[in-house]
């Protein structure tokens, strides 16, 4: 699988949302990543469905909507109309298999996200039910955190599980991703690089995205 770069709008200038999203689209982003936070599942509130819909109006790239919220099943239908993929957390208070099924039934890619403390073995009951495995490489909730080096063995383990079970889900990494850490994540088996700060604060966003890829 080729490497995909998904800039996270959490790091953009919200006052210039449309311009920022259009700019990274022109710069070569493969996907646009939207981190939805509810202030309960994580200790931060980011934005909701109206914001994500506004993002969709300023790009032709697939939207990867990451629901860092306690009840993703309750709010799912608000995001499905504009999402290409929706990631829910294994740790959330939800019927995970049913929520993944609903995402796929809507014709979208289903993503399963796991926090740093969650072992890879926890995905075993859900194998075959998701299209993306999102490995958090920072504690979720805030952008700009440093990459957690001890997540690299988890990425490798996830890639080994994929090969062992002959599945084709993509492995996404989110948190502290820059050119150096992206290279190491790719070597470990990840294909989708969610990069916020490194892309939106780059002097040359096109060059940064190309380097990440």
Q: Cβ(135)–Cβ(190) under 8 Å?
A: yes
CB atoms within 10 A of CB 23: 19
For residue range 164-176, list pLDDT tens digits in order.
999 999 999 999 9
pTM: 0.95
Percentage of residues in the chain with pLDDT exceeding 90? 95
The predicted structure's pLDDT at residue 190: 98
Average pLDDT over residues 141-152: 84
Look at residue 140 in the predicted model and tell me its pLDDT.
81
Q: What is the tens place of the pLDDT at every residue in 57-115?
A: 999 999 999 999 999 999 999 999 999 999 999 999 999 999 999 999 999 999 999 99
Q: What is the mean pLDDT of residues 2-27?
A: 97
User: Is the Cβ–Cβ distance between 144 and 177 less than 8 Å?
Assistant: no
**Could you list the active site residues?**
35, 174
Q: 49: closest CA among 7, 88, 77?
A: 77
Domain boundaries, the chain: 4-212
Q: What pLDDT score was predicted for residue 146?
A: 87
C-alpha distances out from residue 94 to 10, 59, 71, 120, 181, Å: 24, 31, 6, 19, 32
Kindly report the CATH number that applies to the domain delimited by 4-212.
3.20.20.70
Q: What pLDDT, on a 0 to 100 scale, did the predictor assign at position 141?
A: 73
pLDDT over 90 at 3, yes or no: yes
Instruction: Give the span between the Cα atoms of 53 and 79, in whole angstroms.
Output: 8
């Amino acid at each position: 699988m080729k490497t995909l770069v998904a800039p996270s709008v959490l790091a953009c200038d919200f006052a210039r949302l449309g311009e920022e999203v259009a700019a990274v689209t022109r710069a070569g982003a493969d996907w646009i990543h939207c981190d939805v936070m509810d202030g309960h599942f994580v200790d931060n509130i980011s934005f909701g469905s109206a914001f994500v819909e506004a993002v969709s109006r300023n790009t032709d790239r697939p939207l990867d909507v990451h629901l860092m919220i306690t009840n993703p099943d309750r709010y799912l239908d608000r995001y499905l109309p504009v999402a290409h993929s929706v990631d829910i957390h294994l740790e959330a208070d939800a019927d995970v298999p049913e929520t993944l099924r609903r995402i796929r039934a809507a014709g979208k890619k289903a993503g399963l996200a796991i926090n740093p403390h969650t072992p890879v073995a926890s995905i075993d009951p859900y194998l075959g039910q998701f299209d993306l495995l999102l490995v958090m490489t920072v504690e979720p909730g805030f952008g700009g955190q440093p990459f957690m080096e001890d997540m690299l063995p988890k990425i490798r383990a996830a890639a080994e599980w994929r090969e062992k079970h002959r599945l084709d889900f993509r492995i996404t990494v989110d948190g502290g991703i820059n050119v150096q850490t992206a290279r190491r994540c790719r070597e470990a088996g990840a294909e989708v690089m969610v990069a916020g700060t490194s892309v939106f604060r780059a002097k040359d966003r096109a060059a940064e995205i190309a380097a990440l890829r």
